[in-house]
Structure 1
Amino acid sequence: MPSKPFTSLTDLMHQEADLAHLRQQLHSNPELAFAEYETSDLVADQLQAYGYQVYRGIAQTGIVGTLTVGGGSRSIGIRADFDALPICEANTFAYASKNPGRMHACGHDGHTAMLLGAAKHLAQTKRFNGTVNLIFQPAEERGFDSGAKQMIAEGLFERFPCDAVFALHNHPGKPAGSFMSRSGAFMAAGDRVYIKIVGQGGHAARPHLAHDPIVAASSIVMGLQTIVSRNIDPTKAAVITVGKFAGGEAPNVIPDQVELRLSVRSFSTEVRALLKDRIIALVIAQARSFGVEAVINYVEGYPVVTNTDEETRFAIEVARELVGPDAVDDNMDMLMGSEDFAYMLQSRPGCFLRLGNGPADQGKTLHSPHYDFNDQNLSVGAAYWSRLVERYLDPDRLTSGR
């Protein structure tokens, strides 16, 4: 255990009420991808008040706050996402969403509040030697052409060099204040497929005079289920989910077309490519067999979240120092969800972690209309980011080989 006075959990307890107020303010005012204008203003104002150099308008609403202490040449990036989801909130507490059809159902309000808490603490204590870049990112939930991808394309790491980057996501179902991660592949690549099955409509009583896209689409849905079970190596993970099946308006009318939307998850480039090839081939062949046409838009989304070994060991070490070894899992199971921090990990070494959010009962899971971030985690996350920065930008860590 390092003997220097790095940040501990007790150091952030005095911020708990303020962080909860800030987080609940964010929760009340959710904004969607690339339209997080009020959120962006709030973050920028807070960072400027703490003494950071603030850079705005990266990927439209993204922000980077930088703080340099001492003459150290090393730098670190910490990322928090701040967009919401197009979900109608079912919660009735006082700080529920004021914006109909928009909700912080994934805890990005908590991610933002935690990093702002760390920003304030680091600016007050200045117990590091180098540069910290705090990256507040829009549009993580978009699924493709997301905030991380656009920030990088606009020169994020050229403008704000980072020797390593780190991020975390809250995790319902694990004890609050516990940390989880793993080296290597951690979260899946996520692709989306938009399919139109175009037939010929007609009268429900005379199906022989039509080309029924509903029957064709139904067969396609069933056929898709065989790809993972019969084309993918059973030792490899993959998921194909049909999340939308829409077509028709009346029981006595055969419609002209049906719309399908798919989510496709995988962990290797080979499996990802095979899934794409098989989905396209199967959909086209099945459609033809029913005398209809398939129009396919296959959108490749986020890549695999791949944590680098050294940075993951370091991130886990800091977590164990902060909350104790019993509250840290360094070999969490791989997750089939996707995360656009993967783009940043393609550009820089780093680690993505999960932070337990407590029980996930009563439907309070991610992307649920009943979800709410656990405010008990705010001081934990702020303390973790503070300690991680202090330890990473500690000159003695380099000389000691740690």
Structure 2
Amino acid sequence: MPRPDDFADAIPAMTMWRQDFHRHPELGFEEVRTSARVAELLRGWGIEVTEGIARTGLVGTLRGARAGNRCVGLRADMDALAMTESTGLPYASTTPGRMHACGHDGHTAMLLGAAQWLAAHRERFAGTVHLVFQPAEESLGGARAMAEDGLFERFPMEAIYGLHNLPGLPMGTIAVPKGAVLASSDTWEVTFRGIGTHGAKPHLGRDATLAAAQFITAIQAIAAREVDPLGTAVVSVGHMAAGDPAAPNVIPASVFLRGTARALEETVRTHLETRLAEIAHAIAALHRLDAAPRYIRRLAPTVNHAAQAAVMVAAATGTADAVRDDHPPITAGEDFSEFLARRPGAYAWLGTGDPAHPEGWHHNPYFDFPDAALAHGAAFWCSLVEAELG
């Protein structure tokens, strides 16, 4: 199986692509430049390209030199985040308020590196590889949009695989969790409506602020007291809006709260949805005011299929510096779950070592994907193709 050393000659090109993508970040469904560059490179290697899937997504189709009817998919996400970069790097974002703070620039470059190698070594596999370059992974539903645009009907796949960088995991390590990889990621909101009044005369009103404060405290008991301690649930408040800072002597008539809920199991996810609404209504009744809760299901848990996880472990064993099949799940969300709901597949972590900057973790203005990881990721993708189709 190919090893990272086999990509020594490709590292300069992969680094150039990655830094170019980093310099020109694009948000979800806006990856026009990125998508065009990916398509240009794939066509240059003789790979069939289909563009415009879910607006800015594309698929490169690569057939092996040997006869075979099996088809697999490899996915890389392309979108950036609405953040201002603080790295000061020579290839830092040139677009204000946009940056690659999750490493999707690296994911795209690694899959391109694998595509170039596979195109030059078609004799090493039989069947078809679909290279899926996905838009809008960052909470905008790019995976679902591609699926609804006929991804799996137009490009039949027996299995689909995803790979994501993971700072803190030793460089070159491949980790393939058993079962749950990432949590569901849902949004909830609630508006408490009472009666506003003068801050000196609270008895003349019905205080929505007090109700909101008690709600924030009460919902923490869901994870602490209602979910099995060996299970996982996270409920967080991310936004609160009430009153006017120029009028601190007014008790506002309404308070709006918004946050997230996460779980590794669908039963826990449903419990969170039910209890958030029940607690909102109960506290509203206690204070004789109204509550309007809403729960928005966004991303289901990302759960690996056992057979495909085993294939990833086998591929990694032949190419990675180290392999872990016991990595614990992470409570972030990932819309690769949309693909896994439709086809068998698995999702792995690529270790990228400790970040160069002490604050350089995912979704941080100091984040930067380390180019030293590119050969590791490309080699793993090629090994996975050989494990499935070789």
TM range (shorter): over 0.9
Summarize the alignment of residues 3-402 of structure 1 with structure 2, pairs less than 5 Å apart: 6-69=1-64, 70-126=66-122, 127-142=124-139, 146-250=141-245, 251-324=248-321, 327-360=322-355, 362-394=358-390
Partner SS for 2:262: strand
Q: What letter matches 2:77 in structure 1?
A: D
Contact map agreement 2:109 2:374 (CA 8 A) in 1: yes
Q: CA deviation at 1:216?
A: 1.5
Separation in 1 of the partners of 2:306 and 2:12?
A: 36
Over 3 Å counting, the alpha-carbon distance change for 1:198 and 1:32 in structure 2 is farther
Separation in 1 of the partners of 2:294 and 2:28?
A: 21
Separation in 1 of the partners of 2:291 and 2:9?
A: 59
Q: CA deviation at 1:96?
A: 1.3
Q: What letter matches 1:267 in structure 2?
A: L
Q: CA RMSD in A?
A: 1.5
Partner SS for 2:69: coil
Q: What letter matches 1:111 in structure 2?
A: H
Separation in 1 of the partners of 2:108 and 2:92?
A: 17
Q: CA deviation at 1:287?
A: 2.1
Q: CA deviation at 1:234?
A: 2.2
Separation in 2 of the partners of 1:269 and 1:162?
A: 26
Separation in 1 of the partners of 2:368 and 2:277?
A: 38
- Equivalences, count: 385
Partner SS for 1:74: strand
Q: What letter matches 1:129 in structure 2?
A: A
- 5+ residue gaps, structure 2, are none
Separation in 2 of the partners of 1:108 and 1:147?
A: 13
Contact map agreement 2:314 2:387 (CA 8 A) in 1: no
Separation in 2 of the partners of 1:222 and 1:259?
A: 15
Q: What letter matches 2:115 in structure 1?
A: A
Over 3 Å counting, the alpha-carbon distance change for 1:218 and 1:323 in structure 2 is same
Partner SS for 1:71: strand
Deviations 1:250-305 (A, max 9, x none): 22232333221121111222111111111111012112322332222211121121
Q: What letter matches 1:51 in structure 2?
A: G
Separation in 2 of the partners of 1:22 and 1:202?
A: 59
Q: Percent identity?
A: 42
Partner SS for 2:365: coil
Partner SS for 1:90: coil
Separation in 1 of the partners of 2:45 and 2:194?
A: 61
Contact map agreement 2:190 2:291 (CA 8 A) in 1: yes
Comparing 196-205 and 128-137, the one that deviates more: 196-205
TM-score of the pair, normalised by structure 2: 0.95
Separation in 1 of the partners of 2:156 and 2:302?
A: 20
Q: What letter matches 2:21 in structure 1?
A: L
TM-score of the pair, normalised by structure 1: 0.92
Partner SS for 1:182: coil
Separation in 2 of the partners of 1:221 and 1:65?
A: 47
Q: CA deviation at 1:108?
A: 0.7
Deviations 1:70-118 (A, max 9, x none): 3210111000011111112121111111121111111111101100111
Comparing 186-195 and 374-383, the one that deviates more: 186-195
Separation in 2 of the partners of 1:235 and 1:355?
A: 26
Separation in 2 of the partners of 1:274 and 1:260?
A: 19
Partner of 1:3: none
Comparing 208-217 and 95-104, the one that deviates more: 208-217
Separation in 1 of the partners of 2:177 and 2:165?
A: 15
Separation in 1 of the partners of 2:283 and 2:271?
A: 18
Contact map agreement 2:73 2:130 (CA 8 A) in 1: yes
Q: CA deviation at 1:247?
A: 2.2
Contact map agreement 2:206 2:289 (CA 8 A) in 1: yes
Deviations 1:198-226 (A, max 9, x none): 33333322323333322211111001111
Separation in 2 of the partners of 1:41 and 1:256?
A: 51
